Amino acid sequence: MSLKSLWTAFYQRRVDGDGQGSLDHEKEAAILDEIEKIVRETDSTILPLNRFRKRILPSVRNALEYISGLIPQVPGPVDLDPGRWDKDPLLRAMFISREELMDMLQSSKALKNFFRHTNASQAFAMLVADQKEKIFFGTQKDGEIFRRDVPQKAVFFENFKVFAPALELAETHLQVQHLALVTLFRQAFEKITDLESWKNELEKQKDLLEFKLRRSHNSEPVTELNPADAPDNQTQKTLQVLSDINRKLKEIKAELDTPEHRLSHLCSVLKSPGQNLELKTVSLKLSRMGVRLESSSTEPANEFNVAELALGQDLKHAVVWVRAEAKYFLGSL
């Protein structure tokens, strides 16, 4: 059973009245099979641990529940129709012109592949764009007075990507949730890899500092001294740096030095998915030039809702459900 079909079962249980959205044992076993495939690709040392599946299952259930709650916060679907560009405030704000919207549609490999392999007349999908902000100084009207050099914030969108096209919006929801769960796993293992790299770098710094101390003190065991007992200021500073490095190495080793530690780290990420995956609905009011306006502003503006998505420390993304028609791809498939 695929992870997508497991999502379907998960939601059917919720619709049928099971508030926890729990799965039966057979389906839980299938979802753990899928998870083991991901783990095997990234850190197979975790898998031999005793009772791996039973230990990770509560964390996986928690992540599933969290991700499912994000879906209603994404607005849409919005019609990606170049003919409606001048009528839809979201399309006007995101795309400079109907031509840019058309170019984005026709350059989407996900949509092209979907329509190439189906007879569908339309597709539902998720549109994701980098949402960037820039501060500049401009003119602002305040009553009858025009003020100069007023700090203003412009919002613009770029790097558009289309994900998870499907015949039905519900199927797109399931595919996106699959991607979100995989993303959480990937982020957990990326952090482990980053910590491993940091650990290696700290160990190199430690070896270098210890070598310098031994050379400057004729191999005397000064590295064991407390910084406060150092014979001179330079040695004291070096010993303090060594102490800080040893403390940080101890913290890193406690988090990932063994498969047991790495499994605990993975479970902690899944138990607190909001620390790595955040999404919220926001209302934007942008001028024709993309300047962010107060809700009370009477200036002509594009007003619309998007979901802001943050993955770890990455920049914010604007997210919305969309619908696209196959007719815009005729001749390019």
Tens of pLDDT, residues 208-241: 777 777 776 665 555 555 555 556 677 777 777 7
DSSP string, 57-107: HHHHHHHHHHHHHHGGGS--PEE--GGGTTT-HHHHHH-SSHHHHHHHHHT
Residues 105 and 173 in one domain: yes
Query: Are 262 and 300 contained in the same domain?
Result: no
16 vs 190: which has the higher pLDDT: 190
Evaluate if residue 194 carries a pLDDT over 80.
Answer: no
Choose among 38, 21, 29: nearest CA to 57: 29
Q: How confident is the model at residue 314 (pLDDT cuts 50, 70, 90)?
A: low
Do 290 and 313 share a domain, yes or no? yes
Q: Assess whether 5 and 152 both reside in one domain.
A: yes
Q: Give the 3-state secondary structure of 124-143.
A: EEEEEEEEEEEEEEEEEEEC
Kindly report the pTM of this predicted structure: 0.71
Q: If DSSP codes are grouped into helix, strand and coil, which group holds residue 328? A: helix
Q: CA-CA distance, 13 to 11, in Å (whole number)?
A: 5
The residue among 225, 246, 273 that closes a domain is 273
Which of the residue ranges 5-9, 96-100, 208-212, 254-258 would you say has the lowest mean pLDDT? Answer: 5-9
Task: State whether 176 and 232 are in the same domain.
Answer: no
For the chain, what is the largest distance between any 2 Cα atoms, rounded to a whole number of angstroms? 81
The verdict on 63 and 201 lying in the same domain is no
Domain shared by 300 and 257, yes or no: no
Q: Choose among 280, 301, 305: nearest CA to 292.
A: 301
Range(s) of the domain holding residue 140: 1-181+279-333
> How many angstroms separate the Cα of 28 from the Cα of each of 1, 54, 62, 69, 267?
10, 10, 13, 20, 17
Q: Which residue has the tokens 């594009």?
A: 302
The percentage of residues in the chain with a pLDDT greater than 90, rounded to a whole number, is 27
- Arithmetic mean of pLDDT, 7-13: 47
Same domain, 244 and 267: yes
Tokens linked to 12: 């059917």
Comparing C-alpha atoms, which of 16, 115, 21 is closest to residue 71? Answer: 21
Is the pLDDT at 191 greater than 90? The verdict is no
137 and 201 housed in the same domain: no
Q: How far does Cα 7 stand from its chain's mean position?
A: 20
3-state secondary structure 177-215: HHHHHHHHHHHHHHHHHHHHHHHHHHHHHHHHHHHHHHH
* Amino acid in the structure at residue 150: V
Domain end (from 223, 244, 273): 273
Same domain flag for 165 and 77: yes
Pick left, alpha or beta for residue 278 (phi over 0 → left; psi -120 to 50 → alpha; otherwise beta).
beta
**Residue 102: which pLDDT band, with cuts at 50, 70 and 90?**
very high
Of 291, 279, 287, 289, which is closest to residue 317 (Cα–Cα)? 279
Average pLDDT over residues 159-183: 89
State residue 15's pLDDT score: 41
Q: Residues 293, 168: one domain?
A: yes
Last residue of a domain, one of 273, 298, 319: 273
Q: Answer yes or no: is pLDDT of 18 > 50.
A: no
Q: Do 44 and 145 share a domain, yes or no?
A: yes
231 upstream amide cis, omega within 30 of 0: no
Q: How many CB atoms lie within 10 A of CB 99?
A: 11
- pLDDT given at position 92: 92
Token match 């406690």: residue? 254
* Residues ≥6 apart with Cβ < 8 Å to 152: 135, 136, 137, 138, 140, 291, 292
Distance from the first to the final alpha carbon of the chain = 31
Least confident residue range of 65-74, 90-99, 161-170, 282-291: 282-291
Total domains, the chain: 2
Q: pLDDT value at position 313? A: 67
